[in-house]
Structure 1
Amino acid sequence: MAPTQEGQQNQAGRHQEVGHKSLLQSDKLYQYILETSVYPREPESMKQLRELTAKHPWNLMTTSADEGQFLNMLLKLINAKNTMEIGVYTGYSLLATALALPDDGKILAMDINRENYKLGLPVIQEAGVAHKIDFKEGPALPVLDQMIEAGKYHGTFDFIFVDADKDNYLNYHKRLIELVKVGGVIGYDNTLWNGSVVAPPDAPLRKYVLYYRDFVLELNRALAADPRIEICQLPVGDGITLCRRIS
């Protein structure tokens, strides 16, 4: 039986009430996943950074612990060595990546706010992986344009993770598809956007969720239609879409 409009609105409302980034409807089930398979295996440095970030007023911007675990394993599975991250915040996903890479692995990390990154940097340094990170403060698009113009970076990245301004996701994709290698992976975070992608037009969404929803919907349509990639959209965290470049 198809859900009624009232049922859809109630469901959308529940997404707004959940105190974590998971799309699971049951808080208890999500807590079970965390306590059973995530927290017991979470590196001490990631736990420390997660708890530090939880005290920050913008803590909802951080990557969830289950997604951090997923990224860490994914990078090991694809033997990633040269990676990029657009949108760093305090560095939880960055730390998950750095811990997964070999000692000579590299991460080009970009964010418009160095102060947030500096909050997590002592933890990253203590974990012994800061040497893998090249942090650049400022908008990513000009840097990507410079890299493309230089020519030598084409097809050199094994993995790229994007968790930044949703209204620029398509602009990022137009550039990143040239920089990731054939067989490499781009991960776009928040592609289910608080569940709002299926919420009715009059659903009681927070202003920032409503503002970015159309950009996320546009991205999802574009990725599904892009013949240069294979995609897999996963309900981990707030939704992550993996794009494997095939041409």
Structure 2
Amino acid sequence: MNGTPPDDDLKTLALPPDQYRYLLAQAEPPTGPQCRLIERTRALGQVAEMRVPHEQAVLLTLLGRLTAARLVVEVGTFTGYSTLALARGLAPGGRVLTFDVSAEWTGIARTAWREAGVADRIETRLGPAGETLRELPEEPVIDLVFLDADKAGYETYWELLVPRVRPGGLILADNVLYAGEAADPGATGNGAAIRRFNERVRADTRVESVMLPIADGLTLARRTDPADTAPGAGVLL
């Protein structure tokens, strides 16, 4: 049966603090460098909310390992917590290219990366990502992408990166619920930008995707192989 699942399929929980602490306890605990980076980020004040939560960082590391990622592209470094997680999931010889506009925040990140022993796997590129991403090779060689930057730029970054992701590679987009605003047809600002982005991803035949209720919403998209949709593809004889 096609169409929208009924509301009684709803199983997603709004977690109270005690249940969230239980969930977090099931994840690999943060390392010493990760704990120190969390504290340095908290000291920045309200902007600290841009750091991905630890359980999401653990997922990023796991997805990197599952894809045997050798080239990861991250758009939106902030203080580097997600970057560190991505670097920990790299295959031997792999690297993370991370794009941001803030020398201050990426300076905090570099200290943490050195403490964690992953600095040699990470390359930072400063400047507007809509420009710097165009400098990447056009060949589809990226194994994993993580988008977590300005929401109005998501559609541009998506179009620049999807053709550069190898078949079977992953594109992850953070904050796709945007505190629930993306579900509102009357959303404005960033909420409206995310809503448009979600519609574009859902309609994109180059990927298969699912939106997960992790943190503020995480879209997980797999780059499909053009051969998958060729005549006769998927036919069992």
TM-score by length of 1: 0.81
Indicate the structure with greater helix content.
Answer: 1
Aligned: 1:29 with 2:19:
yes
Taking the aligned partners of 1:159 and 1:85, their CA distance within structure 2 comes to 8
Q: Give the structure 2 partner of residue 56 of structure 1.
A: 44
Aligned: 1:236 with 2:214:
yes
| Residue-by-residue CA offset, 1:48-72 (whole Å, 9 max, x unaligned) | 2122211212101111111101111
Q: Give the structure 1 partner of residue 162 of structure 2.
A: 177
Q: Give the structure 2 partner of residue 213 of structure 1.
A: 191
Q: Give the structure 1 partner of residue 147 of structure 2.
A: 162
Offset at residue 102 of structure 1 (A): 3.2
Offset at residue 120 of structure 1 (A): 2.5
| Secondary structure, counterpart of 1:79 in structure 2 | coil
Alignment of 1:39-188 (within 5 A): 41-57=29-45, 58-147=47-136, 152-188=137-173
**Unpaired runs of at least 5, structure 1:** 3-22, 202-208
The letter of the residue matching 2:21 is Q
Q: Give the structure 1 partner of residue 231 of structure 2.
A: none
Taking the aligned partners of 2:16 and 2:180, their CA distance within structure 1 comes to 14
Q: Give the structure 2 partner of residue 16 of structure 1.
A: none
Offset at residue 130 of structure 1 (A): 0.3
Offset at residue 117 of structure 1 (A): 1.1
Q: Give the structure 2 partner of residue 17 of structure 1.
A: none
| Secondary structure, counterpart of 2:68 in structure 1 | coil
TM-score by length of 2: 0.84
| Secondary structure, counterpart of 1:41 in structure 2 | coil
Bigger relative contact order, structure 1 or 2, given CA contacts below 8 A and separation 6+? 1
RMSD over aligned CA atoms reads 2.0
Contact 1:46 1:96 in 2 (8 A): no
Identity %: 31
Aligned residues: 214
Contact 1:85 1:110 in 2 (8 A): yes
| Residue-by-residue CA offset, 1:180-211 (whole Å, 9 max, x unaligned) | 1111111111001112223585xxxxxxx952
The letter of the residue matching 1:237 is A
1:200 to 1:242, Cα distance in 2 relative to 1, 3 A: closer
The letter of the residue matching 2:18 is K
Q: Give the structure 2 partner of residue 198 of structure 1.
A: 183
1:121 to 1:33, Cα distance in 2 relative to 1, 3 A: same
Offset at residue 25 of structure 1 (A): 4.3
The letter of the residue matching 1:66 is E
Taking the aligned partners of 2:218 and 2:82, their CA distance within structure 1 comes to 13
Contact 1:103 1:132 in 2 (8 A): no
The letter of the residue matching 1:83 is V
Q: Give the structure 2 partner of residue 189 of structure 1.
A: 174
